[in-house]
Amino acid sequence: MLEHDVLIVGAGLAGMRAAIAARDAGANAAIISKVHPVRSHSNAAQGGINAALTDRGDNWEDHAYDTIKGSDFLGDQDAVEVMCRAAGQSLIDMEHMGVTFNRDDEGKLGTRAFGGQRVARTFFVGDFTGQALLHVMFEQLVKSGVQSYEEWFVTSLIMEDGKISGVTALEIRTGQLHAIRAKTVILCTGGCGRLFEPSTNALIVTGDGMALAYNVGARLMDMEMVQYHPTTISGSGVLLSEAARGEGAYLRDKNGNRFMEKYAPNMMELASRDVVSRAEQTEINAGNGIDGCVHLDCTHLGEKFIMEKLPQIRELGIDLTGKDMIREPVPIRPGMHYIMGGIKTDVDGQTNIPGIYAAGECANVSVHGGNRLGANSLLDTIVFGERSGSHAADASRGVSFSNFNEDEVVSREKKRLQEILDRPDNGDRWSRIRREMGDSMNRNVAVFRTKEGIEETIEELQGLKQRYGSVPVHNKGKVFNTDLIFALELGFMIDCAEAIAISALERKESRGAQFRLDYPNRDDDNWLKHIVVTQGELGPELSELPVTITKWTPEERKY
């Protein structure tokens, strides 16, 4: 019988940090992941991690204010305070673990400028900070000896009397289905980018945890807040880091003009991402783009500089666009990148479901509110991963394992999966439905939204949901049956897509990443609040939660 005090689902930065923290707090912790930990999507983060170090004359309150302003005042200020206060120590902890951060001339940690920050407080490793952090976290996981279920896919959460009791999981290598008993479960499953097409996200980012939690009654909050990153590669959607702009790159239109002057005269290319994405899209829509893109110009930075600070994105530019940024501008355009929304938690990662926690991108505390600043996500995962792990470990002390019948649970789940496998072959493939969903979301729930557009997508999603019920699985085998897994992931994605679309329709204002052409202004009187989606009898139900304000009065956001 597999059982653990704390079971962490997802082995990205948040998951591994939580697992180590839970173990350090004395719990029997285990981590389960559908891919090997180092394959997690945290490794795609490029730019850096924010922290205010007091020995440099920086202070956490400035960082907090920048974050809250970046969030367009939708961020819960108590949560932001927690994150920004903890940032300095978290950063040093990572360095002590072995991260090879960039250094200044005195050998101390070096910084770069980043979007929405008035002071350079982004610490980095070249332009592959996420990969650097993820690998070090994996090293620490190995050191800690935490048990790891690698390439196990969680198919459902097991609930007893309204609280979490464990998970059912498919061992991908063998096709065997298991039940794992757990006193607490921390969901660290990341975002849901694959329900948009294109997206910077990896193929594994399918909203598993969000949907799993939603389906047992957890609250999803601010789902309409979807970040479109300003510099993604056309076609594949792959990311070119904000670090380029942080190190001085310019954005130019077809005539070579730095158009950001019109939209953010002070911060220019380093305004918050939603502002820059909207600026780019406006210029492209007005005919000032080049094949649906604008230009990222690094040619003035010099070869040596680019090779030291931006080597990875230079390679990506060459591999995927054929352009070498040392010599020529690279075409980019806004692309879906991150979701600020997610499973509502408190500052310790607790959700409204007893025993279920969430941390990382799948969670929404909320520290990012309506728009996340670059380099705050890596920070978010580490701070709240640690807090969730510790808290869950403590919470699990007073709890005993639930008594569910393992064989019954497993055979029920097996039956459900077998029914999916036994479907007739004539339905639409999962890939076709995903692409239709992705196109629809990218068309109507992207940078600029309208009531008609969102409603069209909601209707299309209803149709896709119907067709989903007959998606066939062509692989009937047990070993490494990815066709089955993709069908299950599609279900998770549709649930998330629905939550996103109805939240976007509900919020009749523009704030942060949500821009409604029919409601182009921010409306604090009516809409300074979080929109919440929960699963009801007849479908998703909307409710709201207040925004916690501590020190900073909401004001107009100008860059």
In one-letter notation, the amino acid at residue 498 is E
Of 159-198, binders to other proteins (CB under 8 A) are 173
CA distance 7 to 158: 12
Q: Please work out the total of residues on this chain that contact other proteins, with binding judged by CB under 8 A.
A: 63
Q: Is 291 in the site for other proteins (CB under 8 A)?
A: no
Of 213-242, binders to other proteins (CB under 8 A) are 235-236, 238-239
Q: Is 477 in the site for other proteins (CB under 8 A)?
A: yes
Q: Is 475 in the site for other proteins (CB under 8 A)?
A: yes
Angle CA(511)–CA(496)–CA(427) in degrees, nearest 5? 140
Backbone angles phi, psi at 73, to 5 degrees: 65, 15
Structure-block tokens of residue 233 = 């590669």
In the shown chain, the binding pattern of residues 27 to 66 toward other proteins, with x for contact by CB under 8 A and - for none, equals --------xx-xxxx-xx----------x-----------
CB-based burial label for 418 (10 Å; 0-12, 13-18, 19+): exposed
Q: Is 97 in the site for other proteins (CB under 8 A)?
A: yes
Q: Which is nearer to other proteins, 343 or 471 (CB)?
A: 471
Reduced to 3 states, what is the DSSP secondary structure of residue 339?
strand
Structure-block tokens of residue 51 = 């922290």
CA distance 91 to 120: 15
In the shown chain, the binding pattern of residues 292 to 331 toward other proteins, with x for contact by CB under 8 A and - for none, equals ----------------x---x--xx--xx-x---------
Q: Which is nearer to other proteins, 288 or 312 (CB)?
A: 312
Backbone angles phi, psi at 421, to 5 degrees: -65, -30
Of 106-165, binders to other proteins (CB under 8 A) are 106-110, 125-126, 128, 131-132, 135-136, 139-140, 142-143
245 catalytic? Reply is yes
Question: What is the 8-class DSSP label of residue 360?
Answer: G
Contact region with other proteins (CB under 8 A), list: 3-11, 58-66, 97-105, 286-294: 97-105
Q: Which is nearer to other proteins, 172 or 499 (CB)?
A: 172
- Which position among 241, 350, 388, 481 is part of the footprint of other proteins (CB under 8 A)? 481
Q: Is 204 in the site for other proteins (CB under 8 A)?
A: yes
Q: Which is nearer to other proteins, 92 or 517 (CB)?
A: 92
Q: Which is nearer to other proteins, 42 or 71 (CB)?
A: 42
Q: How many residues does the chain have?
A: 559
Quote the least distance from Cβ 413 to other proteins, whole Å: 21
Contact region with other proteins (CB under 8 A), list: 98-106, 180-188, 210-218, 461-469: 98-106
Q: Is 483 in the site for other proteins (CB under 8 A)?
A: yes
Reduced to 3 states, what is the DSSP secondary structure of residue 187?
strand
CA distance 230 to 518: 23
Structure-block tokens of residue 336 = 């879906």
Contact region with other proteins (CB under 8 A), list: 7-15, 73-81, 93-101, 210-218: 93-101
Q: Is 105 in the site for other proteins (CB under 8 A)?
A: yes
CA distance 89 to 86: 6
In the shown chain, the binding pattern of residues 393 to 432 toward other proteins, with x for contact by CB under 8 A and - for none, equals ------------------------------------x-x-
Which of 137, 174, 132, 138 has its CA nearest to residue 153? 174
96 catalytic? Reply is no
Of 330-389, binders to other proteins (CB under 8 A) are none
Which of 411, 388, 481 has its CA nearest to residue 168? 411
Give kind and range of the element (H or E) at residue 231: strand 226-232
Contact region with other proteins (CB under 8 A), list: 247-255, 261-269, 354-362, 471-479: 471-479
Quote the least distance from Cβ 451 to other proteins, whole Å: 33
Backbone angles phi, psi at 49, to 5 degrees: -130, 130
CA distance 128 to 101: 10
Angle CA(118)–CA(122)–CA(124) in degrees, nearest 5? 160
Which of 192, 280, 273, 194 has its CA nearest to residue 227? 273
Neighbouring C-beta atoms of residue 555, cutoff 10 Å: 9
Question: What is the 8-class DSSP label of residue 324?
Answer: -
Q: Is 474 in the site for other proteins (CB under 8 A)?
A: yes
Structure-block tokens of residue 25 = 């707090």
**Residues labelled as active-site residues:** 229, 245
Binding site for other proteins (CB under 8 A): 35-36, 38-41, 43-44, 55, 92, 95-98, 100-110, 125-126, 128, 131-132, 135-136, 139-140, 142-143, 173, 202-204, 235-236, 238-239, 308, 312, 315-316, 319-320, 322, 429, 431, 473-475, 477-483
